Amino acid sequence: MRTGSGWLFRGAARAAAPILALILGLPPASAAESVATALVVSVDVSQSVDDTRFRLQMEGIAEALEDPAVVGAITGNPGGILFAMVTWADRASLAVGWRRIASRVDAIATAALVRATPRQAGEFTCLGQMFRTVTVGVLPALPVPAERVVIDVSGDGIDNCTDADSLTDAHRALLDTGATVNGLPILVPGENDVVGAGAYRAPGYGLLPTPLPQERTSLEQWYRAHVLGGPGAFLLAAAGYGDFSRALRRKFVIEISALGR
């Protein structure tokens, strides 16, 4: 288990666990002092994600939670896992707060919350803002300590509203908590085959350097450079929104089972 300043929030989480357990319906602390994995699913809902794509993402996450292989991976962990979902565009929002999933019934109930998530307004792909929100608002609220914290980031584009230094700082601060950040780029043929020079971006950059590559590159390469990080981090791409559910199911099994760790 990792120790150090990156996991200082564990002490606060442990102290608050009895109260939060009552609120969230978690077992008493004596029954579950910690979990093996806390999983944050972080979903891009910016302008490129229309209503159909948004619903495909929500349904894909719900289907993944209900998948027998995923449920098997969850129940293979004593005490199950902790799960939260963040949606992000111009800003990031905690769409589903921390919940313990320890059984198929828990998974189905959480999937229902995901399906009921309303569409969040937003135009830009503000990845740096999402990193900061997860670091300061989501991880410190863990109801019990976790041996591994995994942030599962999916999206169909690169950050277009954060300068390069700010994005790097936000990414580093998240990794300094000890979390692992995995990537699930959604590859849409003819739309985001390449990214880089001339890419759409928010106003306000001024003369600041941007995280946009000067040369045309692939979304997968950009995710490897700016999203992935932490122990055992990996990337698994989806071949379009129709493939999102399949890719996420596989990714969940790997993340929850800590395969290849």
What average pLDDT does the segment 140-163 reach?
92
Instruction: Write the pLDDT tens digit of every residue in 22-49.
Output: 445 554 444 458 899 999 999 999 988 9
Type of residue numbered 135: T
Q: How far is CA 236 from CA 158, 221, 251, in A?
A: 16, 12, 7
| Cβ atoms < 10 Å from Cβ of 173 | 15
User: Pairing relation of β-strands 35-44 and 81-88?
Assistant: parallel
Residue 135 phi/psi, 5-degree rounding, is: -65, -45
Q: Which helix (H) or strand (E) holds 155?
A: strand 146-155
Specify the 3-state DSSP secondary structure of 238.
Answer: strand
Rounded to the nearest 10°, the torsion over CA 186, 187, 190, 196 is: 90
Average pLDDT for the chain: 84
Mean pLDDT of 10-31: 46
Q: What is the pLDDT of residues 50-74, one digit of tens each?
A: 999 999 999 999 999 999 999 999 9
